[in-house]
Every structure is written in C-alpha cells, then in structure tokens.
Amino acid sequence: MSPVSSSRDVREIKDTVASARVIDSTNRKRAGAVLDAEEIAGVVTDFVHDRIPDYQMAAWLATIACTGLSTAELVALTRAYTVGGGHLDLSEVDGAVVDKHSTGGVGDTTTLIVVPVVAACGVPVAKMTGRALGFTGGTLDKLESIKGLRTSVPVGEIVPMLKSVGMVITGQSADLTPGDGVTYALRDVTGTVESIPLIAASIISKKVAVRADGLVLDVKTGAGALIQDRDRAVRLTETMLDLARAFGLSARAVLSDMSQPLGPAVGNALEIRQALAVLRGERIPGLWELCAAVCRLMLRSVDPLLTDEQATARIERVLDDGSAYEMFVRWAVAQGADAAVLEAERLPTAAHRLVVRAPESGWVTRVEPRAVGNAGLLLGAGRLTYDAPLDHGAGVLLRHRVGDRVGKGDVLAELFYDRGDTDTARTLVASAFQVGDRAVTAPPVVRQIFGAEGV
C-alpha cells in the first residue's frame, strides 16, 4: 500500500468516527441528554478540521437551537469555539481597552460610529466583527464598500495598530475563535440564527479571545431584531452577561429598540455614508441616541469614576471638533483605505432609483423593519444564499420615521439598485409604512441598561 493510500485510509476512518460521534451526540441531545464538555469540544473540533460535513453540523446546531443548553453546556460550547486558537495579549497597550457588540438590526451602524468616537476620547477599542446574518447587515460587508480597506487584520498586527491608531475593526480570525468562525455562516443558512445559546456562545467566544478590559453589549428587541420578544431579549442579555462573567470579563449591556429601522440608511455603502455623516457631527434621530448611550457605557466601563455628564461632554467634544471623523479616517487608512476615497465619499453607488410615496396625508405610525431589511436583500444588499455576492451600492434610504407628519405624495423612501427583484422590494417598502390620522410617539431607543446606573 502506498503512503498516499494509507494516509487516505486513515483520513476516511477518522471521518467515519467523527460522523458517528456527531450523529450520536445529536440523537442524545434530542432525547434530553446533557452533553459533557469533552463531547462538545470533540464535535466542534471535528467540524473545524473538516471531518464532518455541513449537513451533520447543521443538524447538531438545529438540535441545540430546539432543546437549549444548560449553563455548563453553554460554557463548554463557548470554550470549544476558541479551542485551537489564541488570545490577544493587550498588556502592551497603554490604558484599558474596551470592546462592544451589537446583536444586529436594520439600519444599525453603531459599530462604525461608536468605535471611532470612543477611540477619539482616548480609550482604545478592539472590535472583532462579522458578516450579515439573515436580514440584518454585517459590519464587514459594509466596510468592504471602502476600496482597499482590509477587513481582516492578522492577529500579530492588532496590538501594534491599537497602540499606533487607537482602534481596530477586523473580521473574526481562525487564529482566535476557529470553532465560531466555521459555524457562524452555517447558522445563517440553516435557521439557527435566533437561538439564544448559539448567539451567546458565538458572541462571547470572540470576547474571550479578545479579552478587553471592558465589554458593552447592545441587544436589540422588536420586530427588526433577531430576538423580537422583549422577554427573550432580556434573557439573551442576561445569558451573555452571565457567560461573560464566567470567563472573567467585565461586561455591561443596553437593551435597544428595533421596532423600526435604527437609522435611515439600509445597505452597505449607504450605511458607510450615514456613519460618516454622524462622525462629522450630524445627530441622526434614533441612531445617535443609541450610539451616545453605548459610547457612555463604554467609557464608564473602563473608568468607573467617570460620571454620566463627564462622559457625555467627552463624546460631544470629539464630534464637534472633528476628532471622531479623523479617527475613522486614520484607522481606515491604517487598514489599507485611501483617505481621498473617504473624504470625497467615492463609494459604490447604484445606477437606478425608485421612490415610494405616501398614499395619503397623516402621521407615520409604523415603519416595519423586517420588510425594509428584506427589501434590501432582494436588491442585493444582503445574502439570500451562503456564498451570494453583494451589491454594495444597493439598499433603501428612508426619508421618514415613526411620528413624522407627511403629505400625500411625499417621498417615504428611495430604493437604490442595479439588479434584483425591484417590484417585490418596492412593494415590501411600501407595506412597511403605515400612515394614520393621529400623531404617535416612537418608543425610546434605549429600553434598559444592565450593569450600570443611568446612561
């Protein structure tokens, strides 16, 4: 027998054993068994090393999504996601380093705003982020609208960049969380995106690998959130906080409203433009209220003596004097972007435009976020399949929010596209808006704070 044949035979035996192991684990979990840490680590490691196929891992993840995990199982899964990876050593960075995470929503550009704002305030920010899940946009997808910008920073460059620039936004690295890296995209196409234990393990595993001094979680609730029900969103928040603390992380959280799109822009380049507008000083209603709250929590998470008023003053100063915008540009250039591209906003732009107009006069009483997010998907701003290409110029720009007064024929939204199912997308956006004859007030964007007094 040749060495090649022998090697292939050994591989086939390992694959057979791994397949039998994940099938047994799936069946036992479905029957109500509690999986031990070694078993969980074995399944994740087998998938990382390509010893089990996607469909078997999808079945295992779906079973977890249906049956849930005990606290011990959840800790084990979180740790398993990091097995084989490393951790960042942030000890060389002067001062405390802070991190944040949003569970995602429609028009949610908080990362692109709060990271440079907090960094401009003098607190380094290390942010490992991901791509789109379902109808919500992904920060990496948005950043790829900027020509030349590297969305993946090698682990060895992260600390030097933190020291020289003050912030890093990068895709998750196989060097840090290999298990989460290979299961993240699989969840998007297998109906397991909204599972509380899978969300918690995915998010906190990345935070364990980064191990910043402070962590702020932004958990969305409402029609446009991954977790629509408020009680479940609170449970997710508390689960992640408990899990973070189990790994020795200092964490705080904000529960935020996603009953309408957070910001008016929904789409990759459109959201980059939106973020740059805020960093130049524009306080976009809804979006800025949440960003300001998250920024305050991030600053106070690493400086407990800082008052709410002092944190607010710092944030307002770096917006008004241009420091926050300059921080974004300096960071983008450090990761490969051309400053001239940003300053001139030479970003992808769709060639075609459709408008949606108000059918009658009145007040906007609803803007259904999932309909808007799904319209963006149909126009090419998001992924309907695992490896679908994105149209970074496509998306939806909303001209009104809940509570606005509109006249018959006023433009409610604009659709930007080069391809896609434009008829269905336009119908979705039109159906998202409800106009009534009585004025209404939108719910507050910040619904609840966990782990700190006030915002």
pLDDT digits (tens, 9 = 90+) for 53-77: 999 999 999 999 999 999 999 999 9
Say if residue 15's pLDDT is above 80: no
Which of 176-190, 251-265, 331-345 shows the lowest per-residue confidence on average (mean pLDDT)? 176-190
Q: Which helix H or strand E contains 106, and what residues bound it?
A: none
Give percent of the chain above pLDDT 90.
71
Alpha helices (runs of H) in 189-307, residue ranges in sequence order: 196-210, 230-246, 268-279, 287-302
- Predicted local confidence at residue 163, as pLDDT: 95
Mean pLDDT of the chain, nearest integer: 90
Say if residue 176's pLDDT is above 90: no
- Predicted local confidence at residue 4, as pLDDT: 45
In the annotation, is 101 catalytic? yes
Confidence of residue 211 (pLDDT cuts 50, 70, 90): confident
Candidates 29, 206, 370, 400; catalytic one? 206
Which of 190-199, 201-210, 320-329 shows the lowest per-residue confidence on average (mean pLDDT)? 190-199
- Predicted local confidence at residue 190, as pLDDT: 76
Say if residue 182's pLDDT is above 90: no
- Predicted local confidence at residue 138, as pLDDT: 82
**How far apart, in whole angstroms, are the C-alpha atoms of residue 115 and residue 430?**
34
Say if residue 2's pLDDT is above 70: no
Q: Which two tokens stand for residue 245?
A: 């603390």
Say if residue 363's pLDDT is above 50: yes
In the annotation, is 180 catalytic? yes
More confident: 151 or 294:
294
| pTM of the full structure | 0.87
In the annotation, is 206 catalytic? yes
Say if residue 379's pLDDT is above 90: yes
Q: Using alpha carbons only, what angle is made at residue 251 by residues 249 and 257, rounded to the nearest 5 degrees?
A: 150
Domains of the chain and CATH, by start: 3-67 (1.20.970), 90-345 (3.40.1030.10), 352-436 (3.90.1170.30)
- Predicted local confidence at residue 105, as pLDDT: 85
Give percent of the chain above pLDDT 70.
93
- Predicted local confidence at residue 86, as pLDDT: 77
Tens of pLDDT, residues 263-299: 999 999 999 999 999 999 999 999 999 999 999 999 9
Per-residue pLDDT, averaged over 296-317, amounts to: 94
Distance in angstroms between the alpha carbons of the first and the last residue of the chain: 69
In the annotation, is 242 catalytic? no
SS3 142: helix
More confident: 85 or 100:
100
Do 209 and 128 contact (CB within 8 A), yes or no? yes
* Spatial CA neighbour of 357 closest among 319, 306, 305, 412: 412
Candidates 51, 100, 101, 131; catalytic one? 101
Which of 131-140, 233-242, 262-271 shows the lowest per-residue confidence on average (mean pLDDT)? 131-140
Please list, in sequence order, all residues whose beta carbon lies within 8 angstroms of the beta carbon of residue 174, skipping any fewer than 6 positions away: 85, 181, 182
**How far apart, in whole angstroms, are the C-alpha atoms of residue 50 and residue 168?**
30
- Predicted local confidence at residue 227, as pLDDT: 86
Say if residue 454's pLDDT is above 60: no
Say if residue 130's pLDDT is above 80: no
Candidates 51, 79, 142, 187; catalytic one? 187
Say if residue 133's pLDDT is above 70: no
Confidence of residue 187 (pLDDT cuts 50, 70, 90): confident
**How far apart, in whole angstroms, are the C-alpha atoms of residue 72 and residue 135?**
31
- Predicted local confidence at residue 87, as pLDDT: 81
